[in-house]
Amino acid sequence: SYHGMFPKLPLGYTKKFIENLSGAGKCIGVLTSGGDAQGMNAAVRAVVRMGIYVGAKVYFIHEGYQGMVDGGDNIKEASWESVSSMLQVGGTVIGSARCKDFRTHEGRLRAALNLVQRGITNLCVIGGDGSLTGANLFREEWSGLLDELVQSGEISEEASQIHSALHIVGMVGSIDNDFCGTDMTIGTDSALHRIIEVVDAIMTTAQSHQRTFVLEVMGRHCGYLALVSALACGADWVLIPEMPPKDGWEEQMCYKLSESRLRGSRLNIIIVAEGATDRHGNPISSNAVKELVVRCLGFDTRVTILGHVQRGGTPSAFDRILASRMGVEAVLALLEASPGTPACVVSLCGNQAVRVPLMECVQMTQEVQKAMDEKRFEEAVRLRGSSFNVAVLNVGAPAAGMNAAVRSAVRVGITEGHTMFAVSDGFEGFYKGQIKEIKWGDVGGWTGQGGSLLGTKRTLPAKHIDKIAEQMRIHNINALLVIGGFEAYLGLMELQAARSKHAELCVPMVMVPATVSNNIPGSDLSIGADTALNAITDTCDRIKQSASGTKRRVFIIETMGGYCGYLATVGGLAAGADAAYIYEEPFDIRELQSNVEHLTEKMKTSIQRGLVLRNENCSENYTTDFIYQLYNEEGKGVFDCRKNVLGHMQQGGAPSPFDRNFGTKIAAKAMQWISKKLKEFYREGRVFANTEDSACLLGMRRRALVFQPVIQLKDETDFVHRIPKEQWWLRLRPLMKILAKYKTSYDVSDSGQLEHIVHPSI
């Protein structure tokens, strides 16, 4: 009954489908402006293909606003094939340039003429706040510019009437993540990947020689890259523009570094944003920090300035998916725009695409800079947005990011005054008594390590409840933090069910989802899933590249996930797959045959390589071997086939920046909830928690992290196949098919609605 089911829509929404939105007669121009960012090409590809899909003409505007002003061959109509093989390419293939001409009235007049001559009245601008501000000014002047062109005789009165309104939709492409109104900008996650790759490499040499490294990262006005990379690598100190250190910071930092060495650490990492200053506005350079450490501590210290490395390289899976979703949303926004619709920006709020007025975002971003210029640092940060024993354990299969979550939980718990206990090997280690106190220094360097350093097993607690309760009593455990997958979810339910027989289990319990399968009810995302997606995407890129220059070839790739098709679907979207077979959408031999025929037609006309993903449990009979043999047989004379089973490489490797950051934040929030519940349920010298809301799962739901009683999630769970009955990412499947040139029905009921920015002080 749940096959193909979409999540319930908020009240007030009615279903609407893409086939009811027509782009016939519309012309859309797409440009990238300002600095480049990884993922821009994925956004361009999505705009072009969705635009063509709805019947619109789409034009590349090469070299940003300069190409719009110069016209000629800089403005060319795009075809479906013209955006093939650009998904995995960094930078922007249509070029970007900073344009002085567009800042003048004469330049904007020439740009208007070039657009009208091609019938373009819809612009999709991918860039930073300067690029988007310029686009809004252009829109405001549009009618006046057309009047001037009519008066000069360069266009007719009729052309002026036909093209009387210019619609603008923006997408923010910036590695700095310095634009208010969106949680993440296109390119930020990829830049974090570059930083973390460098930090991970540096840490090995630093440890060998007991060195201190000072890393300078980009961020002239925004410290996001510095702060999140510091969280993701477990840096000792971080300096960012929004939070200049208080006077005397030099002594405090040196004391912290010295204390770390005394605890046995062999290295120190200091991360400095390029725009870091002190409270008096004096710049703090990476070299100045190095000289300070050498002078005060005598530590062997090196400086590494990452520079434009952060802009380069292939986009991460997150940026490809984000840019693809935003590109499609931008086209929908243009189709729905009326003459009175304000220019908007497509933004990400939690896991939800939203549209926000462009100038509200720009004004808020400028307020941040103004507050920093006036040294109102606390406001700038706001504009960006008793002792107990607590046990933490990992349950289920290992997932990259688990260690970051454990480290965060331990350190936040200690900061809040708790004594933290580590349980080895999940519930199996729990009932065997493999429990010991874990201290601040014990989790040093854990953030960047894959797998589970605590050890994890799939054992469920039900058969060992008596022994687990006894261990809870022996160690006086007052709260539990369980980090893991579906077994952790089932285990928490079993512990809660046993409370009636064991008072020791009447303590606050919270689960943080960590599984590559992303199959936990109550959460859109799980720790480890992003790392697995990057492994899939990187492998697919390499596999496709291996066929470069050879004859036409189709690759059949098997992904993990149990019965959950998340990795196959979202990995397929990120890698540009032609099809993805999953359990949630049953398929038969007729659909397989149709897919082969569709791919054959594409192969005959343009593309040289095809990609098909298959979830490991999508069908009992249509196995990877069967699909491989079918495609191989039916494609004879047109293409040949290869197959790959990715296996456990999807679980291994260092966690991605997203998983490190997500694990750190969600575990910290879980510990804060535990502290609150411990105070709430502490009575007469003991903790006693027996309510439904004292055993919760902390999950990302659309826009926010939400605590949900596990007992209330039962009805949302298919326990036989270990998946949620409703899964948000099923909405992305039609999008994947559209971008692969299939005609399909696409429910856009949940597309972003125009929303206003809420000022943090309100």
What's the pLDDT tens digit per position in 352-385?
888 888 888 878 877 776 776 666 666 666 565 4
User: For residue 641, is it within any domain?
Assistant: yes
Query: Please, are residues 462 and 469 in contact by the beta-carbon 8 Å criterion?
Result: no
pLDDT digits (tens, 9 = 90+) for 386-425: 579 999 999 999 999 999 999 999 999 988 889 999 999 9
Segment holding 171, helix H or strand E: strand 167-172
For residues 60 and 165, state if they share a domain: yes
pLDDT bucket at 58, cuts 50 / 70 / 90? very high
Residues marked as binding for ATP? 35, 98-99, 128-131
User: For residue 442, is it within any domain?
Assistant: yes
pLDDT digits (tens, 9 = 90+) for 486-499: 999 999 999 999 99
pLDDT digits (tens, 9 = 90+) for 656-683: 999 999 999 999 999 999 999 998 898 8
For residues 536 and 552, state if they share a domain: yes
User: For residue 113, is it within any domain?
Assistant: yes
Instruction: Inform me whether the pLDDT recorded for 21 exceeds 80.
Output: no
The confidence score (pLDDT) of residue 752 equals: 61
The confidence score (pLDDT) of residue 531 equals: 96
pLDDT digits (tens, 9 = 90+) for 718-754: 999 999 999 999 989 998 999 988 888 777 666 666 7
The confidence score (pLDDT) of residue 380 equals: 64
For residues 56 and 140, state if they share a domain: yes
- Burial code (b: 16+ CB inside 10 Å, e: under 16) for 552-583 equals bbbbbbbbbbbbbbbbbbbbbbbbbbbbbbbb
**Rg value, the chain, Cα:** 27
Distance of CA 740 to the CA centre of its chain: 22
User: For residue 194, is it within any domain?
Assistant: yes
From CA 658, how far away is CA 656, in angstroms rounded? 5
The confidence score (pLDDT) of residue 4 equals: 34
For residues 155 and 202, state if they share a domain: no
Overall average pLDDT of the 235-261 stretch: 91
What the block records as the tokens of 479 is 């709260």
For residues 411 and 510, state if they share a domain: yes
In the chain, pLDDT over 90 holds for what percent of residues?
65
What the block records as the tokens of 38 is 């990884």
Overall average pLDDT of the 603-632 stretch: 90
Query: Please, are residues 313 and 193 in contact by the beta-carbon 8 Å criterion?
Result: yes
The confidence score (pLDDT) of residue 177 equals: 87
pLDDT digits (tens, 9 = 90+) for 442-465: 998 899 899 999 999 999 999 999
For residues 176 and 47, state if they share a domain: yes
In the block, which residue shows the tokens 């949630």?
584
Count of residues making up the chain: 762
The confidence score (pLDDT) of residue 19 equals: 58
User: For residue 136, is it within any domain?
Assistant: yes
Instruction: Inform me whether the pLDDT recorded for 437 exceeds 70.
Output: yes
Residues marked as binding? 35, 98-99, 128-131, 174-176, 211, 218-220, 274, 302, 308-311, 458, 515-519, 553, 560-562, 616, 642, 648-651, 722
pLDDT bucket at 1, cuts 50 / 70 / 90? very low
Please confirm, yes or no, whether 176 is among the known catalytic residues: yes
Distance of CA 171 to the CA centre of its chain: 15
Least confident segment among 190-204, 245-259, 706-720, 740-754: 740-754
Instruction: Inform me whether the pLDDT recorded for 188 exceeds 70.
Output: yes
Overall average pLDDT of the 589-597 stretch: 93
User: For residue 727, is it within any domain?
Assistant: no
For residues 487 and 540, state if they share a domain: no
3-state secondary structure of 555: strand
For residues 168 and 48, state if they share a domain: yes
The confidence score (pLDDT) of residue 358 equals: 85
Task: Report the CATH number that the domain containing residue 659 is assigned in CATH.
Answer: 3.40.50.450
Residues marked as binding for substrate? 174-176, 211, 218-220, 274, 302, 308-311
Q: How many CB atoms lie within 10 A of CB 660?
A: 32
pLDDT bucket at 14, cuts 50 / 70 / 90? very low
Torsion over CA of 191, 197, 203 and 209, rounded to 10 degrees?
-110
User: For residue 16, is it within any domain?
Assistant: no
Instruction: Inform me whether the pLDDT recorded for 6 exceeds 70.
Output: no
Instruction: Inform me whether the pLDDT recorded for 286 exceeds 80.
Output: yes
Overall average pLDDT of the 39-68 stretch: 95
From CA 677, how far away is CA 687, in angstroms rounded? 9
pLDDT digits (tens, 9 = 90+) for 204-239: 888 788 889 999 999 888 888 998 888 888 889 999
pLDDT bucket at 5, cuts 50 / 70 / 90? very low
Residue range of the domain that includes 584: 531-651
Q: Classify residue 745 as exposed, middle or buried by CB count within 10 Å of its CB (0-12, 13-18, 19+).
A: exposed
Instruction: Inform me whether the pLDDT recorded for 630 exceeds 90.
Output: yes
pLDDT bucket at 704, cuts 50 / 70 / 90? confident
For residues 153 and 31, state if they share a domain: yes
For residues 433 and 413, state if they share a domain: yes
**Sequence-ordered strand ranges (E) for 616-681:** 640-645
Distances (CA, A) of 283 to 247, 249, 271, 660: 14, 14, 14, 29
More confident residue, 347 or 518: 518
Catalytic residue among 176, 524, 530, 659: 176
| Residues 334, 28, 327: CA angle, nearest 5 degrees | 60
From CA 326, how far away is CA 330, in angstroms rounded? 6
Q: What's the structural domain count of the chain? A: 4
For residues 71 and 160, state if they share a domain: yes
Overall average pLDDT of the 70-94 stretch: 92
Q: What is the pTM of this model?
A: 0.83
In the chain, pLDDT over 70 holds for what percent of residues?
93
For residues 451 and 472, state if they share a domain: yes
Domain boundary among 596, 627, 651: 651
Task: Report the CATH number that the domain containing residue 225 is assigned in CATH.
Answer: 3.40.50.460
User: For residue 199, is it within any domain?
Assistant: yes
Instruction: Inform me whether the pLDDT recorded for 60 exceeds 90.
Output: yes
